[in-house]
Structure 1
Amino acid sequence: MTEHRMTAAVDTSLVATAAAALSVLCASTAFAGVLADGRWVFPALLTTAAVVAIGVLGRRVRWPASATATAQLAGVLVMLTVQFTESAVLGLLPGPAAVRELGRLLTGAAEVVRTGVPPVPAEPPLQALVCLGLGVVVVVVDLIVVGLRSPAVSGLLLLCVFAIPASLADAMLPWWTFVAGGAGFALVLATGGQHRRWRSREDRAQVTRALFGPATASVVGTAGVIALLTGAVFTGVGTEGRLPGSVPEQFGGTEGIGLQPFTSLRGQLDRGQEVELFRVRGLREPTYLRALTLRRFNPERGWELEGLTQGVEANAELPLPEGTDIAEGDAQRVEVEPVGYRDPWLPVFGVPRFLSGMGVNWRYDPAAGIVFTQTNQESRPYVEQLVLPKPTPEQLREAHGPLRVAPEYLDTTGIPPQVADLARRLTADSPTAFDKAVALNRYFTDPSNGFRYDLRTAPGGGGDALTEFLFRGKRGFCEQYASSMAALLRTVGIPSRVAIGFTAGYRDGDERVITTEDAHAWVEAYFPGWGWQTFDPTPLGDGRTALPQYLDDELSPAQLPAPVPGQDEPSTPSTAGPTPGHERPDEDTTGAAPVDPRETEQGDPWPVVLGVLVVALVVLAVPGVVREVRRRQRLRAVAGGAAGAAGLAWREVLDEFRDRGARPAPTDTARQVATRLLEHHGLDESGAKAMRKLVTAVEREWYAPPGTEPEGSLPEVLHGVLDSLRRAAPLDLRSRLFPRSVLSSFR
Structure 2
Amino acid sequence: MRLTIASGAAAFTAAFLLSPLFQGGSWFWTSLGAVLAVVAAGLLSNRLALPGWATPLVGLAATWLYLTLSFSSDKAWALLVPTKESVVELARLLGVGWEDIQRFAAPVPDTEGITLLTAGGVALIAIAVDLLAVRMRRAALAGLPLLALAMVPATILTDPISWPAFILAALGFIGLLVADGHERVGRWGRAVLVRRTRVAPGQPVAPRPGTGTADTNGLRLSGKRIGFAAIALAVLVPALLPAMEPVSFFTFGVGGSGSGRGNSISIPNPIANLKGQLELPEPREVLNYANNDDTPRYLRIYALDTFDGQQFGMTEPKGAPQNRTDNGPLPAPAGLSLETATKDVVTDIRISDQIERLSFLPLPYPAREIQVDGDWRADVDTLMVFSTREEAAGLEYEVQTSEPDVNPDLLDSLNGRQPTTDPRYLRLPPNLPPDIRALAVEVTSEARTDYEAAVMLQQFFTTDGGFTYNLRTQGHSNSALRDFLLRDRAGYCEQFAASMAVLARVVGIPSRVAIGYTGGVKIGDRWSVGTNDSHSWPELYFEGVGWLPFEPTPSGAAGQGSARVPAYSEPRPEATEEETSTPTPGATSSSSDEPSEQQARQNERQLDREAQSAPGAVPVDESMPLIGQIGIGAGVLLLVLLIPAGMRLVTRSRRVRTLGWKVSEPADDLTAAMMSSPSGRHPSVAAAWAELDDVLYDYGMARVPSETPRALARRLAEQYGFDADATAAITAIASAVERVLFARDPGVIAPMRKDLRTVRQALAATVSRGRRVRALLLPPSTLRRLRGAGERLLDGFDLLETIRLRRTAAQKGS
TM-score, shorter chain, exceeding 0.5: no
Whichever of the two has the greater Rg, that structure is: 2
Return the TM-score normalized by structure 1: 0.44
